Amino acid sequence: MLDRLIEEAPRFFNYYNMIFILQAAGRTLAMTVIGCTVGFVCGLILAVIRQSKSPLLLPVRLVAILYVEIFRRIPFLVILFIVLFAVQAFAPNASLYAIAIISICLLSTAFLSEVIRAGLESVPRQQIEAAEGLNFGAARTLVHVILPQAWKIILPPAVAFMVMFIKDTSLASQMGVVELTFTGKSLVNRGFSPVLGFGAILVFYFLLSYPLSRLGAYLETRLASPRSKGARQLLWTSASPQGGVPVGGQG
Amino acid sequence: MNYTFQFSEVFKELPYLLAGAVVTLEVAFLSFWLGAVIGLFGALGKVYGGAPLKRAIAAYVVFFTNTPALVQIFFLFYALPDLGILLSPMTAVIIGITLNSGAYLTEILRAGIISVRQAELEAAETLGMTRMQIVGYVMLPHIARTIYAPLSNFFVWLVLGSSMAAIFGVEELTGRAVNISTSNLRHIETFTVVAVIYIGLTFVASIFLALVGRWVFRVKARIF
């Protein structure tokens, strides 16, 4: 087997294959970044809705809870299939790439909203009461009181979840989105040894996610304050890692 | 926008799907417990082992937690035959997910072990407890309480993660959904029903694990 690898290696590591893989890595990263950004914004909205106390918003709150609970309990592969067929039923010409991005956004919204909610809940009630006492509105309380304190709790697990989404996008290869895993499969189909093909892909995934998980661990130690201990306990029981424990992905 | 849903085609196949759910749970269970064995030794090695052992375990954990399990299983499934090892899809998937969960469980269990404070161990020693007593009465209860919630979360993740076995042709819940939908062409309905089954499975698992945690380990686990 080793002779085969040595013989194939120069052909495998040629310019065009590397460009092919790098482009795919860019696509994987793009899917993750778009998914995380959209997920962060939508997750923040969902988390804020869940924090609201007004009885008028009760139905919206229920929908938000339902959304988070449902999408955290469906495998990403099944979400992909449902989105694929649902979108294709209405828009037969939709690109697979767009469908994969929609699915990753749906998933990341659910997971990141849990992370953000834990961050928001970490801010002591007295702070919010004090803001109310100063006649701050809900928006001002959020922007000037809650978020400046909550982002320290939110950021480390959010970065850890980004690693998870990088890994989850590998499932999009099953639909035919040309990202890293798909590239690996097509290189192997072209006759290269699976050791080389999938090995190279594993290395590229590692290069994408290792810096991120180091960043997450660094932020965790850097931003940790004694006060955040209770909040991290809260995170523990809901969705995310604690003390540098990596997040499991489905991909 | 004129799509008519027809769930009856899918409901006919419900027993077949539910039998697939059992396979899903089997895969999750098996890889959880096999991974727990790896994780136990990994965590002990990482806390009490020598420097080379620690570094080797850290490399294992870092590699497996930073690359997708899907590609790892692809690697096992397509590269090992070159070495003369032929794996059935089911075996390849279970080995892949087990190696993966071993890495995660190493970290979870390690967090549990290091959560026991030195002062508590010293207090136990001062009380004249033997080594076994310290492990049984001081360390284990503490570790169990610390790791119970992340472990039960991780099991739920495994139930969801085992869906990728479908890609290799294992007939678990998602695999059977693919089978059905390719014959009845009711893709949206089939996968919706499967999603509901997954939600039910993980929900029951979460509630069950939270109740067990509350009774046995006195952990205040949140279901929501």
pLDDT tens per residue, range A69-108: 999 999 999 999 999 999 988 888 889 999 999 999 999 9
* A-chain residue closest to B68, CA distance: A167
Span B98-122, pLDDT tens digits:
999 999 999 999 988 888 888 888 9
Q: What is the C-alpha to C-alpha distance for residues B100 and B162, in angstroms, rounded to an integer?
A: 11
Contact A1 B72 (CB under 8 A): no
The residue among A43, A21, A71 whose CA lies nearest residue A204 is: A21
Instruction: Provide ipTM, 2 decimals.
Output: 0.89
pLDDT of residue A11 exceeding 90, the answer is: no
Sign of CA dihedral A40, A43, A47, A52: positive
pLDDT of residue B23 exceeding 90, the answer is: yes
The per-residue pLDDT of chain A, averaged, comes to 86
* B-chain residue closest to A73, CA distance: B199
Cβ atoms of A51 and A209 closer than 8 Å? no
Length of chain A: 251
Q: How far is B132 from chain A (nearest CA, A)?
A: 28
Q: Nearest 5°: CA angle at B17, between B12 and B21?
A: 155
To which residue do tokens 């799907």 refer?
B17
Q: How far is A53 from chain B (nearest CA, A)?
A: 18
The predicted model gives B28-42 an average pLDDT of: 95
| Option in A174, A181, A237 nearest B71 (CB) | A181
Contact A245 B68 (CB under 8 A): no
Disruptive mutation site among A188, A201, A250 for chain B (greatest number of B CBs within 10 Å): A250
| Option in A209, A245, A250 nearest B107 (CB) | A245
Compute the 3-state secondary structure of chain B and give helix, strand, coil in percent, each to the nearest 5. 85, 0, 15
pLDDT of residue A230 exceeding 70, the answer is: no
| A vs B: CB pairs below 8 A | 161
Q: What is the C-alpha to C-alpha distance for residues A22 and A87, in angstroms, rounded to an integer?
A: 29
Q: What local confidence, expressed as pLDDT, does residue A241 receive?
A: 41
* B-chain residue closest to A88, CA distance: B188
Least confident of A226-230, B9-13, B81-85: A226-230
Contact A213 B107 (CB under 8 A): no
* B-chain residue closest to A211, CA distance: B66
To which residue do tokens 């590269």 refer?
B79
Q: How far is B41 from chain A (nearest CA, A)?
A: 17
Q: What local confidence, expressed as pLDDT, does residue B105 receive?
A: 94
pLDDT of residue B220 exceeding 90, the answer is: no
pLDDT of residue A238 exceeding 60, the answer is: no
Least confident of A191-200, A235-244, B10-19: A235-244
To which residue do tokens 């998980």 refer?
A213
The predicted model gives B190-216 an average pLDDT of: 91
Q: What is the C-alpha to C-alpha distance for residues A157 and A166, in angstroms, rounded to an integer?
A: 14
Three-state secondary structure string covering chain A: CHHHHHHHHHHHCCHHHHHHHHHHHHHHHHHHHHHHHHHHHHHHHHHHHHHCCCHHHHHHHHHHHHHHHHHCCCCHHHHHHHHHHHHHHHCCCCCHHHHHHHHHHHHHHHHHHHHHHHHHHHCCHHHHHHHHHCCCCHHHHHHHHHHHHHHHHHHHHHHHHHHHHHHHHHHHHHHCCCCHHHHHHHHHHCCCCHHHHHHHHHHHHHHHHHHHHHHHHHHHHHHCCHHHHHHHHHHHHHCCCCCCCCCCCCC
The C-alpha torsion from B112 through B114 and A111 to B212, rounded to 10°, is 20
Q: What local confidence, expressed as pLDDT, does residue A25 receive?
A: 94
Which residue type occupies A131? A
Q: What local confidence, expressed as pLDDT, does residue A236 receive?
A: 40
Least confident of A8-12, A162-166, B33-37, B40-44: A8-12
For A:33-92, CB contacts with B below 8 A are 65, 69-70, 73-79, 81-82, 85-86, 89-90
Contact B68 A243 (CB under 8 A): no
pLDDT of residue A187 exceeding 60, the answer is: yes
Contact A248 B158 (CB under 8 A): yes
Phi/psi at B13 (5° precision): -95, 10
Q: What local confidence, expressed as pLDDT, does residue B69 receive?
A: 92
Q: How far is B134 from chain A (nearest CA, A)?
A: 25
The fraction of chain A above a pLDDT of 70, given in percent, is: 88
The predicted model gives A23-51 an average pLDDT of: 93
Q: What local confidence, expressed as pLDDT, does residue B84 receive?
A: 81
Q: Which residues contact B209 (CB under 8 A, 6 or more apart)?
A: B152, B155, B221
Q: Which residues contact B223 (CB under 8 A, 6 or more apart)?
A: B206, B207, B210
Q: What local confidence, expressed as pLDDT, does residue A249 receive?
A: 62
Is any Cβ of chain A less than 8 angstroms from the Cβ of B24? no
The predicted model gives B145-160 an average pLDDT of: 89
Phi/psi at B173 (5° precision): -55, -50
Span B159-180, pLDDT tens digits:
999 999 999 989 999 999 999 9
Q: What local confidence, expressed as pLDDT, does residue A235 receive?
A: 43
Contact A198 B71 (CB under 8 A): yes
Which residue type occupies A64? A
pLDDT of residue A234 exceeding 90, the answer is: no
Span A114-168, pLDDT tens digits:
999 989 988 898 988 999 899 998 889 889 999 998 988 899 889 988 999 999 9
The per-residue pLDDT of chain B, averaged, comes to 89
Q: What local confidence, expressed as pLDDT, does residue B142 receive?
A: 86
